[in-house]
Structures are given as C-alpha cells and as structure tokens.
Chain A
Amino acid sequence: MNGKTEHNCDTLIVGSGIAGMQAALDIGDAGFNVIMVEKSPSIGGKMISLSKVFPTLDCASCITTPKMAASSHHPRVQMMTYTEVKNISKKADGFEALLIKKPRFVIESECISCRKCEEACPVYLEDEFEYGLGVKKAISIPFTNAIPQFPVLDEEKCIRCGACARVCPKDCIDYLQKPEEITVKAKSVIIATGYEITPMDAKKEYGENKLINVISSLQAERLLAPHGPYGKVLRPSDGKIPDSIAYVQCAGSRDESIGVPYCSRVCCMYAIKQAMLLSGSLPLSEITIYYMDIRAFGKGYEQFYNQARAMGINFVKAKVAKISEDSQHNVILRIDRQEEGSKPQEVKHDLVVLSQGLIPSRKEFFGLDVKLNEYGFIDSPAKTFSPALTGIDGLFVAGVASGPKDIPDTIMEAGSAAMEALNYLKTAKIS
C-alpha cells in the first residue's frame, strides 16, 4: 500500500449514481464541502447505462451527463472514483471513513484522455458496462461519456506487452501503481449505494443463466441504447434480429422461492418502456409482456401503459413458470394462458428479457450499526415523513439503498437527504 492521505469535508457521499450526484450538488450549492466516493472508474451509476426513462421517454444520458458534468466540475464537490469504502466509524465529532483508491495504472494528473493506449492494446475483454454484450480492451476508458475520462488497466488480464506504454504521448502508464489508503473525516454521511439486479441464476426454473437468448433487463437497456454495443437490437446466439421478443415480469421479485418477496416497483414500467422502444426500433417484431398484474402507479404511468397497449404490445396475464430452449436456442416459455381456456402451454420466442428485481447492492454498510429491514435495505425509523433518516445522527440514506424506487422518487429522496444533512450540519453541535 502506497502513501496515506487525509481529507476533511462536511458530507461524505457514498455512491455517485443519480441519488449521490443529486445530493452532492444540492449540498455543494448550499455552500458545504462534499466528497463523493465511487467504487467504479466513472460516476453516473446505473442510470448512465440506461437507454431512456419512463414515462417521458427522455434520453437517460441526456439527464445524467449534465449532472455528472456538474458534480465533477463543482467547486465544492470532490469526487473520488475507483475508490472503495472499507469502513466508516462514528466518532464524537462526526465520521471517519477509510477508503482504498484502486490503481488505474495510469498517472491521472498527466493523462490527457487521448485513448492511444486503448487503440494499441491487443487484449479484448468482456465489457461490463455492456453487461457482457460487447468487448473492451484490457486498458480502456470505461465508456464514451465516462467521467473522469481516464483509462483503467485490468491488472489480471493485461499481458504486460508494453504496447500502451510505448504509444502514450504523456508517458503516464505506470504498471507499478499500488492501492492508496485515504482517510476522510466527515461531519455527515449520505449512503447512496443503490442496487444490483437479482442474479440471472436466482430462479432454477428460469434456466440458471445458461440460456443464451435469455437476457437481463439491463442488457436489454444496452441493446436499446443509442450508444449500445451493436447499435441495433440483435439476439446474442446468432446475431439475428429477433422477430418475437418476450418480457417475463416478476422474474426476480415477488417470489418467495428466491427470497425476494417484495415488489421492485420499477420492472413493470421499464418493461413497458423497453417494449415501446423495441416496437420503435423493430416495427415488425411481436412483443409480448407476460405479467401477474401491471403496477403502473406513478404520475402518467397508467397512460404510458395504455399507450403501450394501443401501440400493439401484447400483454398476457400469466406468470412464466419455466424457461427452456430448443436446438436453435429459441426460448420456450411455459405458461397457463387464461384466455382461450385454462391450460398449460409452451410458447416460443426469439429473445426473452427477464424483468429482474432490485436487491441491495451490499450486505453490510461499512461497519455502520445501521438498521436494515428483512430484505437488507436500510430501514428508516420514519419511513413515511423522513425517509432519508437512518436512526444514526448525521447518517442519511438516499435512493434504492433504502428500498426499490424509480428515478423521480430517487431524485426526490436524494434532495430530501441533502436537506436533512444540511439541517444537521447547521444545527448539530459538531466542531
């Protein structure tokens, strides 16, 4: 481990998704200093990888990138990317956090983001930003609109051929970089760690992630995104344009057998949104959504759902019980269709999207003694009127870390967390 640095700030924000950025901007604008920590190489969180948002069909990056730019250029917001929070402890005068800055193997102060290293690198890897649908180089900038625009070298996959170092005009490739320990002293902390989607192999009846043409909802987002991996919608097994696409609702939530009995609140709407976008990009394809019940509960959501129906998207009330495939990797769904008399039947689709649910991104919150609900989300002691409170003075929560919610709710809650934090900074007796 190399060097030790110490920082002070008013608020430490863990996570830089839309919740973290919103809270950081609100607190920074109010005149307090913020450090925003992000474990990935770029800020932006899950939202920057989405195609469009419901129910307005606004482009997701068009909302996220300005926020990313604003928080990275904000004079009172300091971002620490590619940095893991190891531990946060409550002290008498606030919080003390131990962070580990992971090595990019690039000297950040020198790098001019010219991407020469990326072009020279001969090693291709699965691109995690595209959820495995595309490839990247062993040294690469995470994605086109990433902030900061520094490349990251994959330490394990790099063959140390030296190609990147030879082409780098600034000579800033450093194979010997070590992780750095950083200590941050903060008066308050906001947790905005977000979510992961239910693993694709969570439900044994759904093919255990072995069916190539069954993709996750986030993969579908990438297929639909304008800057996505193929620029169009193709199915993974043979690159064919799918003629029939199905959405399996409640694939990763409302299911006691996989331990996620709660409703994830966003899957109905994102499936409807994706179906709409698909019918735009593949006008000749059949799109079917298999659902238990459609939960379109926000402002304008019901209209959005009705619009999708009017556009010719098939909504079939049937919970998909089993998923398998035929020899051409076409996906077979087993359902009990309620129209035309009840009977079990098998239907074939070229491509199937599992509407996976939202689960907490971590099991434990940095050693903080914060109360979690039975599903692992942070439990607010005053859910209905102060959702950002955590029960620990000076510690606040925003976004999906406290339970599944959509983007508008997340942004609103992030504002609320910022307000709570500001209130705390103004009134609490902390030096």
Chain B
Amino acid sequence: MKVNTKFIKEVKKYGAFDISACFNCGNCTAVCPLSAEDVSFPRKMIRYAQVGAEKEIEASLEPWMCYYCGECSDTCPRQAYPGEFMMSLRRYLISKYDVTGISAFFYKFPWVQNLLTIAIFAVSLIFFLSYTGDFQELAEKIEMAFPAYVTLAIIAYVFMFYKKTIMDKAGKMLISFDFKNIWETLIHGLTQKNFSSCSDTDWTRWIAHLLVMSGYTLTLIISNLHLLEPLRIHYGLFDISTLLVFYATFAILAGGFVMMFRRVVKQVQSSSFSHSTDWLFVVMLFLIGLSTFATHTANMALGPDSDTVSILYKFNIAVEMAWIVIVVPFTKWIHIFFRPMAIYLRNLKKEKQLV
C-alpha cells in the first residue's frame, strides 16, 4: 500500500480539523467504552486516515460503532478531537457509499444543498398554492411516489455498505441467520442502547435522539403510506391517526428542540461542532413535525374544507418534498440503517471469522 498524505485533507473537508495533531498515544481508544478488540477505534481509524488507507476506511464498521459521547475528545492530550473525527468519517463514508456522488458534493458545498432545499420548497409551495385541481389527489400521488424514491436510495446505500465492508473482503456474499444476531440488531436499532455505554450516560441526548428517531419513523410511515387525508376527512381527537400524529409530532418537536438547543449552547462534545448539514437536518425535521402538527390540529378545529387547513397542508407537503428529494438521500439520514446494520455485520464477521 502506498502512503497517501493527501487523504487526510480530503477527510478534513467533512469536518475533521486538527486530526493531524494526533501522535497515536491511543488514549482515545483506551478511554472509549465502545471500542473493543474486533472494533478498535478511534486511533486505528485516525492512523488509517493519516497514512491514506482509503480502502481500509471504506471497509470499516468502526465509525458506526461510535456514539460520540466525546470522552475521547475530552481527554485527548493533543486536542485532536478524535470524536469529531469519527463524526467526519461517518459523513465521508456516507458520501463514499453514495453511488451518485451527490452527497460528497453537498458535504463540500453545503450552501448548494441549503439553496436547493429552499428552492425546491419554494417552487413546490408556489405550485401547490396555485394548483386549482383536487390537491388531496395530487398529494396522494406525491406521497405514494416518496417510498419508491426513498427505497431506491436505501437499497443503493445498503448494498454499497455491504459490498465495501463484507463482499470486497470475503470475495463472496455472506449472510448470518443466527437468531441472536438478528435479535441484537433489532434491539440496538430500536433502543440505541449503546448510548448508555458511555461512562456518564447522557440521558438527555439518548432520550432526545430516541424521540426524534421514533417520531420521525412514524411520520415517515404515516406520510409515505398516505395515511392522512386532511382535506377529505375531519379527524376527531381520539382517532387512531390523531394519536399517531400527536405522538410523532410531539416526539420530533421535543427531541428536535433539545437537539437544536444543545447545538447552540455547545456544552457537550457531541454538539460542539455542527456541520451545516447537521443544522439542515434538525431544522427540516423540526419543520416537518411542526407543519404536520399544525395541519392536523387545524383540521380538527376547522374541518377539511377550511382554507387554513389547505394552506397548512400545502406547506407541509412542500417541506416534505424538499426533505425527501434533497435531504434524505444525501445526508446522515441513512445512519438510521447503517448503525443497526453495522452491529449485524460485526456479528457476521465474528461468526464467519472474517478479520
């Protein structure tokens, strides 16, 4: 392997800054409660980056094992911020696993992504507001198109992730049907219990994250399966859909608010360095929660024929348009799938003795 000193500059574009200060004392790896014999990080990853072992990094599951509690950055004797480096590596890897190459472009030129998001939102909103036909029907078509688009993106990412981490190494497809492995993957995916492994569990962060994750997944299901028709149906307070919407939007708003607040006050390592895409991510999520909630309560209060409901609903669908088209396939959104998958693949590697 040839040493490539330029590689670290490439990673730095994704947010890592002074990682070249690292002199490999290994304090980060030893202090990390999640680092283990088969997944050793951050030092090994930093070393890979320093020597430019691009292939090794792309084949690593380690970045997805890190939950960024920040202990490594707090105790780093060189102030190299290994925790933030791991975060940047996740951004880098998302862009590497993206077959279109658009994520890489967005990460390097975040303002383009921001502008595009605003543009798509604005164009959609103007179009929706001037639309004279049956908007509910149009919304249905749009929302039914989302799953196809999103599924395509997910399949591409998941395949690339699997290919780079397992297939390229093993030379063939490997699958584990071990029940324990599948169970562990599900548990971690649903509870994200690795958050509690850090020596002082950051409960606020864990709960906020869990709220946003569950609220968002629910919203995704509600909208992508087109379960809501606020321009046709008058929802009551105790309808199943109302309860679902209330939980989902409450979870997103509360969790999103906590996350944004922490990014502003920057008291803990994990929210000290915000990439502009992080902001886009939380702000858009927050807007989705807010507009869904507003549409639904307006529908309950004013009925499906009200103009206010119609305008709010159009706003809601416009936000979703921008979110699905620009944010979902090209940001850290995909980590919802990568994290549990990494746990599955780690066990798979152990099972098949693929080191």
A in complex with B: yes
Question: Nearest chain-B residue to A293 (Cβ)?
Answer: B23
Which B76-105 residues sit within 8 Å CB-CB of chain A?
Answer: 76-77, 79
Q: Is the CB of A319 within 8 A of B27?
A: yes
In whole angstroms, what is the CA distance A345 to B36 when docked?
A: 8
* Most A-side CB within 10 Å, residue of B28, B30, B36, B47: B30
Q: Which one of B37-45, B132-140, B301-309 contacts A?
A: B37-45
Contact A344 B27 (CB under 8 A): no
- Contacting residues, chain A, for B35 (C-beta < 8 A): 336, 344
Q: Which of A4-12, A121-129, A253-261, A298-306 contacts B (4 or more CB under 8 A)?
A: A253-261
CB pair B29 A255 closer than 8 Å: no
Cβ-closest chain A residue relative to B355: A341
Contact of B40 among A293, A317, A321, A344 (CB under 8 A): A344
| With A319-B26, A319-B30, A321-B27 as contacts: A336 and B40 at CB distance below 8 Å | yes
Assess A205 versus B37: contact at CB under 8 Å? Given A257-B75, A292-B23, A319-B77: no
Contact assessment for A336 and B77 in the assembled complex, using a CB-CB cutoff below 8 Å: no
Given contacts A336-B43, A344-B30, contact A318 B79 (CB under 8 A): no
Query: Contact: A256 with B79, CB < 8 Å?
Result: yes
Chain B 15-57, CB within 8 Å of chain A: the 1/0 string? 0000000011111111110011100100110010000000000
Please state if A335 and B30 are interface contacts (CB–CB under 8 Å). yes
- B74 at the A interface (CB under 8 A): yes
Does A250 sit within 8 A of B, measured CB to CB? Answer: yes
In the complex, which residue of chain A has the Cβ closest to the Cβ of B200? A204
The reply on A281 being an interface residue by CB < 8 A is no
A240 contacts the other chain (CB 8 A):
no
Any B CB within 8 A of the CB of A398:
no
Q: In the bound complex, what is the Cα–Cα distance between A261 and B37 (angstroms)?
A: 30
CB-defined contacts of B40 to chain A, threshold 8 Å = 336, 341-344
- How large, as a class, is the contact surface on chain B? 20 to 34
Indicate whether A337 reaches chain B with its CB closer than 8 angstroms: yes
Establish whether residues B26 and A336, one from each chain, have CB atoms under 8 Å apart when the complex forms. yes
Cβ–Cβ contact B77 & A344, under 8 A:
no
Q: Does A373 contact B (CB under 8 A)?
A: no
- Bound state CA distance, A78 and B44, in angstroms? 60
Asked if B23 and A334 sit within 8 Å, CB to CB, the answer is no
Chain B positions within 8 Å of A322 at CB level: 30-31
Bound-state CA distance A345–B43 (Å) is 13
Q: Within 8 Å of chain B (Cβ to Cβ): is A338?
A: yes
**Are A318 and B31 within 8 A (Cβ)?**
no
Q: Is the CB of A205 within 8 A of B25?
A: no
- Assess the A318–B25 pair: CB atoms within 8 A: yes
Contacts of A272 in B (CB 8 A): none
B314 to chain A, nearest CB (A): 51
Write out the residue numbers on chain A whose beta carbons fall within 8 Å of the beta carbon of B44: 342
Q: B29 is contacted by which of A205, A250, A293, A336 (Cβ under 8 Å)?
A: A336
CB neighbours (8 Å) of B29 from chain A are 321, 336, 342-344
Contact, CB under 8 Å: B24 / A338:
yes
Pick the contact of A321 from B23, B24, B30 — CB < 8 Å?
B30
> How far is B45's CA from A234's CA once the two chains are assembled, in angstroms?
41
Within 8 A of B (CB), among A310-352: 317-322, 334-338, 341-345
For A250, give the chain B residue with the smallest CB separation: B77
Q: Which residues of B contact A250 (CB under 8 A)?
A: 77
Complex CA–CA separation, A342 to B75 (angstroms)? 19
Least Cβ–Cβ distance between B210 and chain A, in angstroms = 27
Contacts of B37 in A (CB 8 A): 343-345
Q: State the CA gap A343–B28 with chains docked (Å).
A: 11
Also in contact, A256 and B77, with CB within 8 A (given A321-B31, A334-B31, A344-B35): yes
Give the interface centre of A318, A322, A342, A345 by most chain B CB atoms within 10 Å. A342
State the CA gap A205–B77 with chains docked (Å).
14
A194 to B216, CA, bound (A): 60
Residue ID in chain B nearest A292 by CB atoms = B25
Chain B: minimal CB distance from A256 (Å): 6
Q: What is the distance, in angstroms, from A86's C-beta to the closest C-beta of chain B? A: 38
Complex Cα distance, B71 from A257, in Å, reads: 10
Pairwise interchain contact A337-B26, C-beta atoms closer than 8 A: yes
Set B25, B28, B47, B77: member contacting A317, Cβ < 8 A: B25
Contact between A320 and B30, CB atoms less than 8 A apart: yes
Query: What CA separation (Å) do A243 and B185 show in the bound complex?
Result: 44
Interface centre among A256, A317, A344 (most CB of B within 10 A): A344
Residue contact A342 to B47, C-beta cutoff 8 Å: yes
Interface readout for A226-254 with B: 1 if CB under 8 Å, 0 if not? 00000000000000000000000010001
Residue of B nearest to A318 (CB): B26
Nearest chain A residue, comparing its CB with the CB of B46? A342
Complex CA–CA separation, A334 to B28 (angstroms): 11
Chain B residues, CB < 8 A from A345: 37
What is the distance, in angstroms, from A219's C-beta to the closest C-beta of chain B?
Answer: 24
A344/B32 in contact, CB under 8 A = yes
**Interface pairs (8), CB distance under 8 Å:** A205-B75, A319-B77, A320-B30, A336-B43, A338-B26, A342-B40, A342-B44, A342-B47
Binding site for B on A (CB under 8 A): 205, 250, 254-257, 292-293, 317-322, 334-338, 341-345
Residue positions of B touching A, CB distance < 8 A? 23-32, 35-37, 40, 43-44, 47, 74-77, 79
The 3 closest A-B pairs by CB, nearest first: A336-B26, A321-B30, A321-B31
Known contacts A321-B28, A343-B37, A344-B29; 16 further A-B pairs (Cβ under 8 A):
A205-B75, A254-B77, A257-B74, A317-B26, A318-B25, A319-B30, A320-B30, A321-B26, A322-B30, A322-B31, A336-B29, A337-B26, A342-B44, A343-B36, A344-B37, A344-B40
